[in-house]
Amino acid sequence: MSSDDDDDETPDLFDEVDAQGRDDGYEPTSPWWLSGTPLEAEHHRLMRRRSVAIPWAASTASQLQPAERARLAATWMRRAQAEYLAVSTFSVLAIDLVAAMAPADVLSLCLRAGIDEVRHAEMAIRMAELYSGEQQLPPPGMSYLPDEPKRPKLHQALANTMLVSCVSETYATTVLSATRDLTTDPTAHAVLTAIYSDEVMHARLGWSYLRHAIEIGGDGVVEAAAAMLPRALRGVANVVERERPVGEVTEAVRTHGLMTPAEERVIFSTCVREVLVPGFTALGIPVGTSVEDYGDTWAHAA
C-alpha cells in the first residue's frame, strides 16, 4: 500500500513524508510480513539505509534434492527465529544502557542494531521461503537478559553488553565468516555477507562500551564483567550444542551456507581461545578457566 491510499481516519499521521536517501533499486525483502499500511514506506527507508542488493533471483535452490531443501529451510527458519529474538535483545539492552547514562554513540548504535536485526529476520524468512516454497514466520517471543535491580546500573549495562555483544555477536561474526567461506550459492552468499557486516558492528559496539565502562567505572566494573563471562560463554555454548533440524548436511547443502555441528564447536572453541580471551585479557578482565572449559575436549565432544 502506498501513502496515496491513506484512509480518512488517519490523515495527518500518514501524510507523505520526505523519503530521504531514496534508492530506486531497493526491493522489499518479505513484503508479506509488512503491516499493509503506509508505515511501510518509512520501514523501507530505514531498511535500505545500509542495505546491499541481494540477488534473490540467482538462488540455485531449485537444483537441490527435496531433503536438502527441507534441511536448509528448517535452518533458515531457526536463523529467522534467532534474528527475531535479537530485535528484543537489543531493545532490552538499550534500556540498560539508557539507565546507565551510556554515551550517545553507544545508544544510537544499540538501537540501530535492533533495526539491523529486523532486516536480518526479514532476510532469513525469505531464505526459508526460497527453500520451502512456503511463507512462514518464526514463533513469537522475546529474549530476557539478566536483571538484578539492586546492582549499580553501570554494572548491569556492562554485564549485559558483554553477554549480548562482546560474546554472542563476536561469536556470530566468526561463525558467519567461516560459513560464508563455504558458500557458493550467490543468494546465500550475499545474505550471509550482509548479516556478517552488521554483526561486526554489533560486536564492536560491545567492546567499545566495555572499554569505556572500565575507564569510568574502575574495579567494580572489571569484577562485574569477570562474573558475567562464564555465564555468557555458557549461553552461546548452549546454542552451539543444541540439536539441529533433521537432515543430512550434504556437500550441496554446505554450499548454501550450512556447516555441521562438529565444525561449529571447533569454531566456538577457537573463538574463545583466539578472540574472546585475548580481548578480555587486554582489557584487564580475568578469564578464569574459559580456555580449558571450551578447549579440545569440548570442541570434539560431539
Contacting residues toward Fe ion, per CB under 5 A? 83, 117, 120, 199, 202
Residue type, 33: W
User: C-alpha grid cell for residue 58?
Assistant: 540467482
Write down the least CB distance from residue 199 to Fe ion, Å. Answer: 5
Write down the least CB distance from residue 245 to Fe ion, Å. Answer: 19
Write down the least CB distance from residue 271 to Fe ion, Å. Answer: 15
> Which one, 38 or 81, has the nearer CB to Fe ion?
81
> Which one, 172 or 277, has the nearer CB to Fe ion?
172
Write down the least CB distance from residue 74 to Fe ion, Å. Answer: 18
> Which one, 48 or 119, has the nearer CB to Fe ion?
119
Distance of CA 138 to the CA centre of its chain: 15
> Which one, 84 or 131, has the nearer CB to Fe ion?
84
C-beta of residue 268 within 8 angstroms of C-beta of residue 237: yes
User: C-alpha grid cell for residue 169?
Assistant: 555477536
Write down the least CB distance from residue 3 to Fe ion, Å. Answer: 29
| Cα 206 to Cα 294: distance, rounded to the nearest angstrom | 22
Distance of CA 284 to the CA centre of its chain: 27
Other CB atoms within a 10 A radius of the CB of residue 230 amount to: 14
> Which one, 268 or 298, has the nearer CB to Fe ion?
268
Distance spanning both ends of the chain, measured CA to CA = 50
> Which one, 69 or 189, has the nearer CB to Fe ion?
189
C-beta of residue 173 within 8 angstroms of C-beta of residue 199: yes
> Which one, 43 or 120, has the nearer CB to Fe ion?
120
Write down the least CB distance from residue 251 to Fe ion, Å. Answer: 27
Write down the least CB distance from residue 216 to Fe ion, Å. Answer: 25
Q: List CB contacts of 17: < 8 A, sequence separation 6 or more.
A: 41, 42
